[in-house]
Amino acid sequence: MFRNQYDTDVTTWSPAGRLFQVEYAMEAVKQGSAAIGLRSKTHVVLACVNKANSELSSHQKKIFKVDDHIGVAIAGLTADGRVLSRYMRSECINHSFTYESPLPVGRLVVQLADKAQVCTQRSWKRPFGVGLLVGGLDESGAHLYYNCPSGNYFEYQAFAIGSRSQAAKTYLERRFGNFMDSSREDLIKDALIATRETLQGEKLRSSICTIAVVGVGEAFHILDQETVQQLIDTFELVGEEEPAAEPDAPAEEGGAAEQGGGAAEQGGGADQSAAADEGVAPMEI
């Protein structure tokens, strides 16, 4: 079987100028269940799909409150996500201790990205296997960022990560033009529909998704299950004209192409690296 010579170490470059270990970490994000974020001028809504590991177990928590003004939704290794949320929480606490004011979202995101970056440049470390959607509010309004294991970060109007997130992205791309002036309720509705898109035909129920909101005059909080179910019930009654989830497979491939690299294809690591060699390095994502 083909063996990649350049992927045994985070700090080893491939001749094509890529760091495979880092890309594998980014693959971990795609394996995790989906997380979605979208924002208006005043609100950010985070949503995620909860998948239980087994019939006998409960699902893992994928949305974390960082502070009153910041929250995060994760996809990938939940354990790594918890470590990073704890780091973000302590940064927020330290900032408000010194300055008696909330930490600007963008700055927290840069600190977080720098932390992730260090792991891509030390032989004895491993990159974080988690992608974070950081939603928050500060002086300059509502923000949504995506933090990647590579240490890259991007600001988004709306974004989705994790498995079958392409379906949600497709939905969001079609709708994001109106998000800026959306009401809080519409934003939540769009979050729920985008979440449904990732479910591959499975019925959207409050038991398999979590929704969190932060906005002007509203501290970050996770909506309780009853509220979410009520919301689902109300919009599913009136909004059935929304197209059902598109077939998953083509969407996923389309996503891979968009991300500018063959590496995004699902499958074994060896496959990916083989395919990826021709592509542009997907480091930008």
Partner 1 sequence: MHSNPAKNHSLVGPEAASERTLYPYVTGTSVVAIKYKDGILMAADMGGSYGSTLRYKSVERLKLIGKHSLLGASGEMSDFQEILRNLDELILYDNMWDDGNSLGPKEVHSYLTRMMYNRRNKFDPLWNSLVLGGVKNGQKYLGMVSMIGVNFEDDHVATGFGNHLARPILRDEWHENLTFEEGVKLLEKCMRVLLYRDRSAVNKLQIAKITEVGVTISQPYSLKTFWGYSAFHNPTVGAEGSW
Partner 2 sequence: MTKQQANWSPYDNNGGSCVAIAGADYCVVAADTRMSTGYNILTRDYSKICKLADKCVMASSGFQADVKALQKLLAARHLIYQHQHNKQMSCPAMGQLLSNTLYYKRFFPYYSFNVLGGLDSEGKGCVFTYDAVGSYERVGYSSQGSGSTLIMPFLDNQLKSPSPLLLPAQDAVTPLSESEAVDLVKTVFASATERDIYTGDKLEIVILNAEGIHREYMELRKD
Residue 7: what are its φ and ψ, rounded to 5°?
-120, 20
Among 51, 59, 83, 89, binds partner 2 (CB under 8 A): 89
User: In terms of CB distance, is 96 or 152 closer to partner 2?
Assistant: 96
Residue 266, SS3 per DSSP: coil
Min. distance of Cβ 98 from partner 1 in angstroms? 6
Say whether residue 93 binds partner 2 (CB under 8 A).
yes
Q: Among residues 119, 165, 137, which one has the least CA distance to residue 45? A: 137
Residue 37, SS3 per DSSP: strand
Min. distance of Cβ 149 from partner 1 in angstroms? 23
User: In terms of CB distance, is 107 or 205 closer to partner 1?
Assistant: 107
Residues 6+ apart with CB under 8 A from 18: 6, 276, 281, 283
Q: Please state, in angstroms and as integers, the Cα–Cα distance from residue 135 to each residue in 9, 147, 165, following that order.
A: 32, 11, 17
Say whether residue 219 binds partner 2 (CB under 8 A).
no
Say whether residue 99 binds partner 2 (CB under 8 A).
no
Min. distance of Cβ 225 from partner 2 in angstroms? 14
Size of the site for partner 2 (CB under 8 A): 6
Number of residues written out for the chain: 285
CB 214 within 8 A of CB 166: no
User: In terms of CB distance, is 103 or 160 closer to partner 1?
Assistant: 103
Say whether residue 124 binds partner 2 (CB under 8 A).
no
Q: How many other CB atoms are found less than 10 A from the CB of residue 235?
A: 19
Say whether residue 97 binds partner 2 (CB under 8 A).
yes
User: In terms of CB distance, is 98 or 123 closer to partner 1?
Assistant: 98
DSSP 165: H
Rounded to whole angstroms, the Cα distance separating 209 from 185 reads 17
User: In terms of CB distance, is 104 or 151 closer to partner 1?
Assistant: 104
Residue 272, SS3 per DSSP: helix
Pick the stretch among 90-98, 166-174, 243-251, 265-273 that binds partner 2 (CB under 8 A): 90-98
Min. distance of Cβ 222 from partner 2 in angstroms? 10
User: In terms of CB distance, is 43 or 95 closer to partner 1?
Assistant: 95
Q: Among residues 217, 69, 67, which one has the least CA distance to residue 137? A: 69
Binding residues (CB under 8 A) for partner 2: these are 65, 67, 89, 93, 96-97
